[in-house]
Each structure stands twice: as C-alpha cells, then as structure tokens.
Chains A and B, each alone.
Chain A
Amino acid sequence: MNKAVIDPSPTDWNGHIMQKRIASRYAAERRFKAMGFFAVALSTLFLAFLLFTMLGQGLRGFQRTELAVEFDFPALTSGATAASVTGPNADAALNSMDIPGLVELAVGQQYAGLGDSLLTSTAAANVRQMLIDNPELVTSKQTLWLPADSRLDVAFKRQGEPAAEKTVAALSEKDALRTGFNWTFLTGADATDPSAVGIWAAFKGSLMTMAITLLLAFPVGVLAALYLEEYAPKNRLTDMIEVSINNLAAVPSIIFGLLGLAVFLTIFGLPRSSALVGGLTLALMTMPVIVIAGRNAVKSVPPSIREAALGIGASPVQVVFHHVLPLALPGILTGTIIGMARALGETAPLLMIGMRAFIPAAPEGFTDAATALPVQIYLWSDEVNQGFVEKTSAAIIVLLIFLLGMNALAIYLRNRFETRW
C-alpha cells in the first residue's frame, strides 16, 4: 500500500520561489487582459479604417469639377429674347437653338487646342435647364460653369491620366476650373459616363423594393408571431412551423435569390428585375426576422394582462388584438426596422433576379425594371473607369447613412417605448 507523503511544513508564501510564481501568474493575467483589449481595439480600428477610407474617397464623389464657358447668347442665338424661351413654345424654341451645337462652338472658341471633350455628356442638358430656370440669361453674354469631363474631373481632384493632367494644368492657369457640389449625383440615374451618374434611380428602386417588402413581411410576420406565441397548439404542424422559421432565418440570402428566380420569374412569370419581384424575395427573407423579434416581444408581455382581459369577458382574439399586440408593438417595430435595414443592404438575392441590369432612368412603377442601391454599388465597383471609384464610395456613404439612421431609430424606439415589466 502506498502512503501519500505529506510535507508537514507550511507553504512559505513570501519565499523566493512563491513570489516568482505569483509574479509570473500576474504577468500571464496582464497578458491575457491585454490580448482581450487588443481584440476589441483591432475590431474597432478595422471599422474606423473602413469608414475613413469610404469617407475619404466618397466625399469627392459629391463634388464635381466645373469648367467656365462663356456664352455670347445674343450672337450665338441670333437674338433670342427671354420671352421666346418661356411660355408654351419654350421647348420648341430651345430645340431650335441647337444647344449641343452652341456648347460645342463656345467651348471650341475658348479652349481651342485642348482636346475636344472637355465637358461631360450632359453639359448641353445642363445649359438647357439653366435657360429654363432663368430665361434672362439668353439676352446677354454669360459665363456658365458646366460639369467637366470625367477624365478632367479625376485629374483635377487627384492624379489622373498624363494627357488629362496637362489639360487640367492649362485650364487651371486660365482659372477656368472650380469645384462645385454635384447635384447630378443625388438626382440622376446610372450612366456610362462617371461624371453624369446619379443614385436617385437606384435609391428609388430600393425604396420601392423596401415598400413591397414591408407591406408583405410585416403583416405576415406579426400574424405568424401572434399565432405561434398565443394560439398554436403543441403538435407536429407547430413544430414544423418553428423549425421552418428558425431555418429560414439562417438560410444564406443567395438561396432566396434562387427561389425568386425559379418561382417568381420562371413559374409565375413576373417581370424580371422589377421592384415587385425584388420586394417579394426580400420579404421572404425578412419575414422570419420579424417573426422571431415579434415572438420575443409578445412573450415579454406579462400573463397578468391576458388574464385580466379574459377575466372581464374578452374573447381570446380580443385579448390579443386589444391588449397584447399594442403592448408588444414597440418591440415588434424595433425588430422590423432591424430586419428592414438588413434587407436594404442585401445584394446577392437581387442579383439573382436580374436587378443588375443597366437602368438609365428611375423606375416609374413596381413592375418596371429597377435596380437597388447596394446593387448599384456593386455594379459601379466593377467599372474600370477611375471616375467610378469615388462614386462607388459616395453611394456607400449614402447607404451607410440610411442604415445607421434606421438602426438609430430602432434603438430610440426601444429605449423610448419598451416597457420593462
């Protein structure tokens, strides 16, 4: 038999060996804590780096380079008056003025020898709009600032092609270039020329898609959550519904795109790349998120409220729709906004149903071909033209502002209205 050998002398806590051991244990403690701090700091730094990169590049996307072009309107238009470009005949009068020709002539006279495409493709349309806004212009000699060509834009803001840099240097000497706010970017649509692109069409497409998604996913999600929490009997069907919802919440988004392609486009024959199909697809994806958030909100309503309502003679349906649902609504709304924010940033399923087409105008109806903001970002990121880099980042800034706004709203709603029982 072995006898355990016990050292009868007490541990010498202040001895050299023990002190060294404790020091090394404390060092390990500090190292571990530092590692934790490092992990959090690294994640934060990555986020900060990402945001700064996007801001640094994107802010330039909201600016455009403008070129001063002098128009001697009385000479160019052979005496058009302010009255002739207003009123019902304005369109015909402006058309007969051949504005693209005027612009070409004016630029050719002033900047001879600096290449032929100094202005962006929409410059003539800009002049036309200026004349409509202010018909008085046409009676005198005017200097108009028109958006410059994308190559010059890139060269003026940062390093561009050598030829464009040369032109920019020559123009800068004449003080003919300035930086202005790029309104076209907020009001325009996709274009092949980066200095003429805008995000309004994609943004409108996103809004329409989101409208369909909300319209379908919110009622269905809330009703399903109420059924599962309040009425569902414990049986096979209920189990199947629960498994389906938990599974749908974790299915990769691209699979929903495949479903949309196979079912909505091929079987139902709905119009390809429309906001309707995009909204339907995203609604299927968002619905489980709303159901899960809704169930948690409904669950947190205390049973005493239900019992009180039942006690004074309300029917089960009245209990839920008159008492439980209004109390759970802030929580449900918070979950809905978060789900909608996720859907707004979603790209892959929309690519599957063809929302990646080149859409040069904002969609008018729900069945028109449309694109969405994240898809537009993806499409621009694929462009070779250097001018698209800053436009992509600028579109990302717009998207992030909206997402942060939605999330902030959700947090506000949660803090303002959620009752702790």
Chain B
Amino acid sequence: MTGTALLFLVLGLGLIGWIFGRARASGFVRKAKGGPRGTVNSLPYYHGWFVAICSVAPALLFMVIWQSLSPSLVTNMVLSAPIAAELPQDTFARAAILSEARAIAQGFQATAFQDMSDKLVPLYKGALSYYKWLGVAATLLLLFAGGAFAFTRLKPDFRARGKVERVIMFGLLLASLIAIITTLGIFASLIFESWRFFSMVSPFEFLFGTDWNPKSVVTPGADNGYGAIPLFWGTIFIGAIIAMVVAVPLGLMSAIFLTQYASSTVRKWMKPILEILAGVPTVVYGYFAALTVAPAVRDFAVMLGVSNAASDNALAAGIVMGVMIIPLVSSMSDDSIAAVPNAMRDGSLAMGATKSETIKQVLLPAALPGVVGGILLAVSRAIGETMIVVMAAGYTANLTANPFDTITTITVQIVALLTGDQDFGSPHTLAAFALGLALFITTFFLNYVALRVVKKYREAYE
C-alpha cells in the first residue's frame, strides 16, 4: 500500500466517521422534540466534524512522524542482521552501499554497481515492508481509536461546535505561522550554510577581496578567488544605476502624464498596457535582451568607436531591466502623487502657475518621499532579478564602469555556482548561499526602509 492510498483510506474513513457522527446527532434531535433543535446543543454536522477530526487528525499526524522516523528504523533493522557485519567500516563506502541497496529495494534503481548491495536488497525489502505494514496498522488503529472515543462522547448536550471551532481557530493560526516559519527557514538556511562557507573562506576575503574566480578546493589563509567586490559592484551598476537611469525618468513621467494630462480614455487603455509590461516573465525579457538588445548595443558601441564592446554587455541587461521596472516605479509614483491633498494643487493653480509648474514645484516635492520609497523598492527588485542578467549579462567578474563591458552580478554567480554537479558541501555551493545571504540582507533592508518611508509619508497627509 502506498502513502497516497493510505492517505485516501484515512480521509475516506474520516468521511464515514463524519456521516456516522452526524447521523447519531440527528437521532438526538429527533428524540428531543422540544424546540427547533430540542435540547441538542450543536447542529448535527458539528458532531460529524467532531468525529471526523478526532479520527483523522491523530492518524495524519502519526503518518507524518512515521514518514520521517521509519527510514532510520529500517536502516537499524538491516544493520542488526548478521550479514551487515561484512559491510566496510569506512562510513562513506558504507553509506553508498546502503543507499544503493535501498534504492534497488524500492524499485528506483534496476541494477547494483556494488556487489555488496545485492546481498542487502532482500534484507531491505523485508525491513521496508515490515515497517510499512506496522505503520499502516498503527495509523488505522489510531484512526479507529480516535473515532470511537469521539463517538462515545456524543450526547445531546455535548458542545461539539465549540470544540470544532477551536480546531478551526488553531488551523487558522497555524496557516499564519507558516509565513514566520518560511522567513525563519530562509534566514536559518542562509546563515547556516554561509557559516559553513566562512569556516572555509575568510569573511574578510569575501567582503573586501576584488578577485572573483572561485576555486573548488580552498586552502585556508590563501587567496581562493572568493572576493565578491566585483559582484557587488556589478549588481549595483546594472540594477541600481543603469536600470534606474532608464526606469525612474520613464516611470515617473508616465505616471505624471497618465494622472495629470491624459484623458480618461487614454488612461483606461494605457494603464493595462503598462501592467502587461510588468506581467511579462523575466525569462522572456532575458531572451529579448540577449537576442535583440545586446547585439544592437554592441553595434552602437562599435559605431561610437568603443573597440572592446562585449556581446554580453552590462548596458543591454540594464536597459531591459529598467523597462521591466517601469510599471513598478510608475504605479508607486502614481499612488504618492494621488495622495497629495488636492488643496495644495488647487492653490498653486489658482495662483496662476501652469500645470507643469504645479507638478514640478508643488506636487513632486510633496510626493517626493513616496516616490523615493518607490524607487528604493524598484532597486530592491532590480538587484534581486535573476533571469535577465543570467541570459544577457556575462559570467566574467569585472571591476569596471564601462557599460559596454561584461559585468557579472550576485544572482548570475549564484546560478553559475549551483549548476554543474557539485556536492552540496563544496565551497562553490556554500558560496552561493553566502551570496544569497548578502542579497537577502540588502533587499530586506531596502524594503524595510522603503515601506517605512512610504508609510510615514502617507500618515503625513492623512
């Protein structure tokens, strides 16, 4: 019996429990013909839910625990067999044989590469089925015990609704806690793997070194090519400088035009078009940047007389990223301009200022904190963007301010370090987590500041 089948069996039995519980409570209602429900405390289906929850919840919980517990139990059982004494003492070789035998026994693998594995396969098969059936039996036992317990509790005056609602509230709280668990999970895994990385490579080299050429075998104390300064610079240059030079004027002017000048028909049509720009997947932008924009930029550079223009230049990636960010800047500016009290605008217009003078000298200064917050969010979005730079910018770390040259970014290097068949504990993999941590902290900080600025600004006019 597979896990899925057992899951459906448990849920099906839960449904039967629900039906029985409800039927029993309906019986109470029929017997107690006083008022509309007689003296029965809760509606019949609450009784049904009570029985279903009492039977299914412990069984499901047990299944989850058993799923994580049984592999080690199976291994212990196999190791306790006399033939296991023939296993090599070396832990690595031992683990390889065990995992291979296990894979064959489960049917994931057809043939063994190690002779020893074949001998262990029947043992594994036996242990696996023994613990599987033990688990099934225990699950069903728990289910019936829970169901029976709940069923005996059902009485006309039993407060089934209160009990069920408490479970629902617990479920709601649990769902909300997943957000915290995810955040903690991200933080913990990044910190943990980065800590492992920094025990191999000194944080000083990582943060202040200017040579990025990661070696797969590190020697403590020596220069291992893990200086991330070129990556930090590349990320800032593409995401925070080139992209913003494109996105800020275009986004801000679009927002001004659409809110202050455009007729309502134009606005009705243009806003969704800008939203489409935001909805295009980044992989499409990346392909477009690599295929169309990058060659055009290189030709342009050659025309200008820049001899060493690369085909995977920073400018193409930055421009396309800027276009992707336009809708974000535009909508944030839109919101902040709309939040400026009308009295300020009317006052300026009444004094004889033209529309553009009002915008430039009254609306924009008043909306500035909101616009700046929006730009910070846009920067955070741009430096975390991956696919455009992976496809259009290069993989070579270069500490240069020449936009026609190849520049790499943090995200590109994370992708580059994690592709290829690397062992999880290798410095390459761990370096990706260290870069991820740097990215996470930066974007977290930017988002926090941006949200604070925007919030404070909104409050100022409320």
- Report which A residues bind B (CB closer than 8 A): 25-26, 28-29, 32-33, 35-40, 42-44, 46-47, 50, 53-54, 219-221, 223-224, 226-228, 231-232, 240-241, 244-248, 250-256, 258-259, 261-263, 266, 284, 287-288, 291, 315-317, 321, 341-342, 344-348, 351-352, 356, 374-375, 377-378, 381, 389, 392-393, 396, 399-400, 403-404, 407, 411
| A29 partner residues in chain B, CB cutoff 8 A | 354-357
| B424 partner residues in chain A, CB cutoff 8 A | 266
Q: Name the residue of chain B whose CB is nearest to the CB of A35.
A: B253
| B401 partner residues in chain A, CB cutoff 8 A | none
Instruction: Give per-residue flags for B380-391: 1 if the beta carbon is below 8 A from chain A beta carbons, else 0.
Output: 110111110011
Whether B284 pairs with A36 at a CB distance below 8 angstroms is no
Q: Name the residue of chain B whose CB is nearest to the CB of A221.
A: B175
Whether B380 pairs with A250 at a CB distance below 8 angstroms is yes
Main secondary structure of the interface of B (DSSP, over half): helix
26 contacts between A and B (CB under 8 A): A28-B357, A32-B355, A33-B355, A46-B323, A54-B284, A54-B288, A223-B171, A224-B175, A240-B180, A241-B176, A247-B444, A251-B186, A251-B440, A251-B443, A255-B436, A255-B440, A259-B185, A317-B165, A348-B415, A351-B415, A375-B283, A378-B287, A381-B287, A403-B280, A407-B275, A411-B272
| A26 partner residues in chain B, CB cutoff 8 A | 354
Whether A378 pairs with B286 at a CB distance below 8 angstroms is yes
In the complex with contacts A223-B176, A250-B447, A255-B186, A351-B419 CB distance below 8 A: yes
CA distance A53 to B291 in the complex (A): 10
Known: A352-B414, A381-B283. 8 other contacts (CB 8 A): A47-B277, A248-B182, A253-B384, A254-B439, A255-B439, A258-B433, A315-B161, A345-B280
Whether B273 pairs with A47 at a CB distance below 8 angstroms is yes
Whether A345 pairs with B323 at a CB distance below 8 angstroms is no
Main secondary structure of the interface of A (DSSP, over half): helix
Whether A252 pairs with B385 at a CB distance below 8 angstroms is yes
| A342 partner residues in chain B, CB cutoff 8 A | 279
Whether A252 pairs with B172 at a CB distance below 8 angstroms is no
In the complex with contacts A244-B179, A374-B283, A399-B284, A259-B189 CB distance below 8 A: yes
Whether B176 pairs with A224 at a CB distance below 8 angstroms is yes
Whether A36 pairs with B257 at a CB distance below 8 angstroms is yes
In the complex with contacts A53-B288, A224-B175, A374-B281, A263-B276 CB distance below 8 A: no
Whether A241 pairs with B177 at a CB distance below 8 angstroms is yes
Within 8 Å of chain A (Cβ to Cβ): is B183?
Answer: yes
A153 to chain B, nearest CB (A): 19
CA distance A400 to B183 in the complex (A): 31
B:183-208 near A, CB below 8 Å = 183, 185-186, 189-190, 192-193
| B356 partner residues in chain A, CB cutoff 8 A | 28-29, 32-33
Within 8 Å of chain A (Cβ to Cβ): is B173?
Answer: yes
B444 to chain A, nearest CB (A): 6
CA distance A405 to B26 in the complex (A): 47
CA distance A86 to B24 in the complex (A): 60
Whether A396 pairs with B284 at a CB distance below 8 angstroms is yes
Q: Name the residue of chain B whose CB is nearest to the CB of A392.
A: B287
Within 8 Å of chain A (Cβ to Cβ): is B83?
Answer: no
Within 8 Å of chain A (Cβ to Cβ): is B134?
Answer: no
Whether B386 pairs with A253 at a CB distance below 8 angstroms is yes
Whether B186 pairs with A43 at a CB distance below 8 angstroms is no
Query: Which 7 A-B pairs have CB atoms at the shortest separation, nearest pair first?
Result: A252-B384, A36-B257, A345-B281, A39-B253, A223-B175, A32-B356, A348-B386
Within 8 Å of chain A (Cβ to Cβ): is B338?
Answer: no
Within 8 Å of chain A (Cβ to Cβ): is B250?
Answer: yes
CA distance A344 to B277 in the complex (A): 16
CA distance A39 to B377 in the complex (A): 21
Q: Name the residue of chain B whose CB is nearest to the CB of A356.
A: B419
B:400-420 near A, CB below 8 Å = 411, 414-415, 418-419
Whether B176 pairs with A40 at a CB distance below 8 angstroms is no
Q: Name the residue of chain B whose CB is nearest to the CB of A250.
A: B447
Pair count A-B, CB < 8 A:
243
Q: Name the residue of chain A whose CB is nearest to the CB of B259.
A: A36
Whether A44 pairs with B161 at a CB distance below 8 angstroms is no
Whether B185 pairs with A263 at a CB distance below 8 angstroms is yes
Whether A247 pairs with B178 at a CB distance below 8 angstroms is no
CA distance A389 to B290 in the complex (A): 12
In the complex with contacts A43-B326, A232-B176, A252-B411, A32-B283 CB distance below 8 A: no
CA distance A348 to B281 in the complex (A): 11
| A245 partner residues in chain B, CB cutoff 8 A | 179
A237 to chain B, nearest CB (A): 8
Within 8 Å of chain A (Cβ to Cβ): is B432?
Answer: yes
Whether A347 pairs with B279 at a CB distance below 8 angstroms is no
Whether B323 pairs with A43 at a CB distance below 8 angstroms is yes
Q: Name the residue of chain A whose CB is nearest to the CB of B275.
A: A407
In the complex with contacts A255-B440, A287-B179, A356-B419, A403-B281 CB distance below 8 A: yes
B15 to chain A, nearest CB (A): 18
Whether A241 pairs with B433 at a CB distance below 8 angstroms is no
Whether B279 pairs with A50 at a CB distance below 8 angstroms is no
B:150-178 near A, CB below 8 Å = 161, 165, 168-169, 171-173, 175-178
Within 8 Å of chain A (Cβ to Cβ): is B451?
Answer: yes
B378 to chain A, nearest CB (A): 11
Of B171, B183, B354, most buried by chain A (CB within 10 Å of CB) is: B183
Whether A50 pairs with B176 at a CB distance below 8 angstroms is no
Q: Name the residue of chain A whose CB is nearest to the CB of B319.
A: A46
Whether A223 pairs with B172 at a CB distance below 8 angstroms is yes
Whether A244 pairs with B384 at a CB distance below 8 angstroms is no
In the complex with contacts A39-B249, A250-B377, A227-B173 CB distance below 8 A: yes
Q: Which of A251, A317, A351, A378 contacts B169 (CB 8 A)?
A: A317
Whether A284 pairs with B182 at a CB distance below 8 angstroms is yes
